[in-house]
Chains A and B, each alone.
Chain A
């Protein structure tokens, strides 16, 4: 049994299965209703989606469960292969090559575990719309208040549809560093932090992040001051994810360098 789980054949068929599964996922997005259902998955923590909204789209739920099963088996295959084959080689004949091969696989398993962690722990609120003076209350007694918005570019562009709007959001048409919002983070009405936030420069407080996705004009409002669309998320694993991801790239690179050989 252990021999099968740590075999290359098992790993190969699982790799092939997960490739096919992801490809099916990509094909599902061609259908509009599935496209929005898959987009919905990313709007909140996967655990919350599973508990609340997943049942509304059974095909996507079935696809996701299939992905979890293959992912779980792949993690088992990688762990067993690393433990049974690669570690044995390291113990028997430790060389830079064998240590790196072992490290690459261990890092891959860690990255998969971090993906799993970020799907289960923390929280995420997407498409939060705030105009000046409004407050959004969320987990653990936190609330985020939008104090001020400064928008120096053509406000009429914000009335357009997304695809049309994009044409006007050139480097001369949209000054992302000069358009900003000022937020205050409170916890049980105690002010914790105030910060100026631009596009691509989120509000940060520990592992909590409030990211501006867009500026928008509220429907029916006569005001010329836009509001902001936000993603508020608490993710404990983001920094670790980037660190291990970079380490993985470096280990593969080092492995390639030492095995390149002169032709």
Chain B
């Protein structure tokens, strides 16, 4: 397998996401059920492909990490769009989100990170992988919040979406912290300290603290469900933007 294969798989996933958006627009939910499986499979192939080409799971290059994030949200979408309690109430906004992330790859160098001797260590790969996964979880929380804003007429479904967004924001924080824990251990063994003053440390702190913001919204600021949803959404958007900053 080569980098060229990875680029091909990337475009296949992109086309499948586009087809799914089209199917939503023409309201062909039954076909969407099957094409969404194809999109998950294609994103999964890319994930395995990254490992086969570079001998390690995605680390920090945006070509691989953005597709890894798309893979995470597609899996979650696949699971939740089939939850019996919300039958017929799919999170359709997931697909435009996946499309934007997938399109962002085009702005990056389409090449996976080369090999490095430290990628042999479990905690090094875990640091990168947990961070990527946490971003996927945060994006999924964002998707649920946006969907809840679009579903004003169905308060029951709206509540489900908001609660799910809260769960995935907290889960994202846990996964992010676990990644930082692995990173701290790596830093400890390489630089003699669990952390050091650097841009990476500042950015990581910003991302974690932003994830804490949505659970510390004061009542006078977020006194309605809608306001709380919007503020939480802003915090999550900022986490994603911070992650996408080159560092």
Contact = CB atoms under 8 A, between A and B. Distances in A.
Interface of A: 7-9, 11-12, 15-16, 18-19, 22-23, 25-26, 29, 35, 38-39, 41-42, 118, 124, 126, 166-167, 169-176, 199-202, 209-211, 213, 231-233, 235, 238, 241-242, 245-246, 248-249, 252-253, 255-256, 260-261, 263
Contacts of A246: 181
B191 interface: yes
B221 A15 contact: no
Given A29-B198, A242-B185, A18 B209 contact: yes
Contacts of A200: 118, 121, 189-190
B198 A39 contact: yes
A19 B210 contact: yes
Contacts of A174: 117
B154 interface: no
B174 A256 contact: yes
B174 A211 contact: no
B88 interface: no
A171 B209 contact: no
B209 A19 contact: yes
Contact of B178 (A167, A173, A249): A249
Contact of B213 (A15, A172, A213, A260): A15
Interface centre among B120, B185, B196 (most CB of A within 10 A): B196
A130 B187 CA distance: 21
B82 interface: no
8 contacts: A9-B220, A11-B216, A22-B205, A41-B197, A170-B114, A176-B118, A232-B192, A238-B193
Interface residues of B, number: 52
Given A38-B197, A171-B117, A245 B181 contact: yes
A15 B192 contact: no
A119 to B, nearest CB: 10
Contacts of A263: 83, 85-86, 160, 163-164
A171 B196 CA distance: 26
A171 B120 contact: yes
Given A8-B219, A9-B218, A249-B178, A256 B202 contact: no
Contacts of A7: 218
Contact of B202 (A8, A23, A39): A23
The residue in A22, A41, A124, A256 that gathers the most chain B C-beta atoms within 10 A of its C-beta is A22
Interface of B: 55, 83, 85-86, 114-121, 160, 163-164, 167, 170-171, 173-174, 177-178, 181, 184-185, 188-194, 196-199, 202-203, 205-206, 209-210, 212-213, 216-221, 242, 247
Contacts of A199: 190
Contact of B163 (A167, A170, A252, A261): A261
A235 B193 contact: yes
B189 A201 contact: yes
A170 B213 contact: no
Nearest to B238: A19
Q: Which 9 A-B pairs have the closest CB atoms?
A: A231-B192, A42-B196, A211-B192, A9-B218, A26-B202, A170-B115, A29-B199, A42-B197, A25-B202
Given A166-B116, A200-B189, A253-B174, A38 B167 contact: no
A10 B242 CA distance: 24
Contact of A245 (B184, B192, B196, B202): B184
A200 B163 CA distance: 42
A9 B221 contact: yes
Contacts of B212: 15
A46 B237 CA distance: 33
B190 A170 contact: no
Nearest to B168: A256
Given A18-B209, A22-B202, 12 more contacts: A23-B242, A25-B199, A26-B206, A167-B114, A170-B115, A175-B117, A200-B121, A213-B192, A241-B184, A245-B181, A252-B170, A253-B174
